[in-house]
Chains A and B, each alone.
Chain A
Amino acid sequence: MFDDFFIRALFVGIGMALVTGPLGCFVVWRRLSFFGDTLAHSALLGITIAYTMEINIALSVFIISSLVALMLLKLEKTTNLPTDALLGLLAHSSLAVGLVVIGLIATIRFDLMGLLFGDILAVNVNDIIIVWFGGALILLVLKLIYKPLFASTVNYELAEAEGMKPEKVKAIFTLLLAAIIAISIKMVGLLLITGMLILPAAIARNISSNPKGMVIYSIIAGLMSVLIGLFSSLQINTPSGPSIITAGLILFVLSLIKIKGSSQLKS
């Protein structure tokens, strides 16, 4: 059943949407959009290292993204620079170092477009396994830390006072972000990963009134983006990754109608 490239793409896309939905909610709640972007940029370095050392791409990206995340936490504590400046610094310098490394190892030809935008139609059975097993693991860990993570998102000190260990769950959540980027980099590419994290959650925010509802709507919105994006890319022959994000954008615009409707109801 995995013979057809389109079926494989569907499986990978659905698996991704199931994971980016809930993770994306926390990215939006904790205002980490730019942080996700930084991790995604650093993934390029991870990919080049994977090629030079001939190790698994997902593993290499995970390690590099985690290192960049740790570096950010360290820099936040030791410098007086604001977080957004540090994020910009890390994002662009890791991207630049990645490109320099590519230049150094001239023997390998890179498909840069593929790296930036991914190629979900080129995934193999291995990728499906990585996305589904990795994704299941990410969701399991997220489920375990959901309560303390949510509590510390609402109020850090209150969560800490009542024994929820916010610092620890923050670090774990950061690793989960690095992990989702690692397993999805090949499919949607580093420029579109943040889109997959933020768009479904943003759509869900427009139409939900409580946190659990937002997580569920976010998953549904992600699934719809993947399905609409993939099928339309097949029909009208557009690049798949960007088509998924564009489908998400259209859903977002539609979700704005709901906001307008409910605010009229209030007034």
Chain B
Amino acid sequence: MEKAGVFINNKWLVKDVSLEIEKGKIITLIGPNGSGKTTTAKIALGLYKNISGKVEKFTKKIAYVPQKISIDWTLPIRVFDFMNLTSDLQDQEINEALEITGAKHLLNNDLKSLSGGEFQRVLIARAVAKKPDLLVLDEPVQGVDFTGEIELYELIKKISETLKCGILLISHNLHVVMSKTDHVVCLNGHVCCSGTPISVANNKKYQELFGEDVSKILSIYEHKHDHKHGVDGSVEEN
């Protein structure tokens, strides 16, 4: 996508975001709440009708793990039915996918009876089972226990290697971002900075956004910053 943005209710949700998701690469979006991470992911998925800029898609095999999903109680739906929601999978494929996300025992459970963490595992399993070319994960491990969280990130890394698919990941876990991803885009209403994990960590803008303590994780030296952020994320020139 190139210089894409969404303008709703007289306000830019995100503006001029350009990024490219390559096969076999993991791109991570980071940024504070309301910085447009989810919006950017949705633009990439084509969920907004009126956008500025343009989005080019090179594949139709897309899988999406949304940030929030609520299942209406009027729907009787088991994990098994949910796995097949947008594709026709073999039973074996379903079992394998649930197995690697540690949710195999849930196959015949009612979707509504799952806990938050279990549901996330099923969501990821469903996306993986589709064997997509592009995988978009919006906070995929929320509510998952600590050990499970690390395992699932390992899994995401493995998926990008084995399936050779491009992954767009939204994550709050900076440790993971730094160790598992190829490219980091730091958002705050616009692309604040981007590059390899180390270069972003060293970026002054990133440090400003997340605070020095957090950014110390990998930062070595400082850059001079060329702009400040207003409270709404707008850019103020120095």
Contact = CB atoms under 8 A, between A and B. Distances in A.
B46 A209 contact: no
A4 interface: no
B77 interface: yes
B76 A161 contact: no
Interface stretch (A112-120, A150-158, A239-247): A150-158
Given A209-B76, A210-B76, A159 B66 contact: no
Given A160-B47, A161-B46, A209-B110, A151 B86 contact: yes
A211 interface: yes
A208 interface: yes
Given A29-B74, A209-B76, A154 B82 contact: yes
Interface string B100-116: 00000000001000000
B13 interface: no
Contacts of A161: 42, 45-47, 62, 64, 66, 136
Nearest to B64: A161
Q: Would you call the interface of chain B mostly helix, strand, loop, or mixed?
A: loop
A203 interface: no
Contact of A214 (B76, B110, B136): B76
A61 B40 CA distance: 45
Contacts of B81: 210-212
B82 A158 contact: no
A147 to B, nearest CB: 7
B8 interface: no
A151 B62 CA distance: 14
Interface in A127-160: 147-148, 150-151, 153-155, 157-160
A205 interface: yes
Interface in B72-92: 72, 74-78, 80-82, 85-86
8 contacts: A148-B86, A159-B85, A159-B86, A160-B46, A161-B42, A162-B62, A205-B76, A214-B76
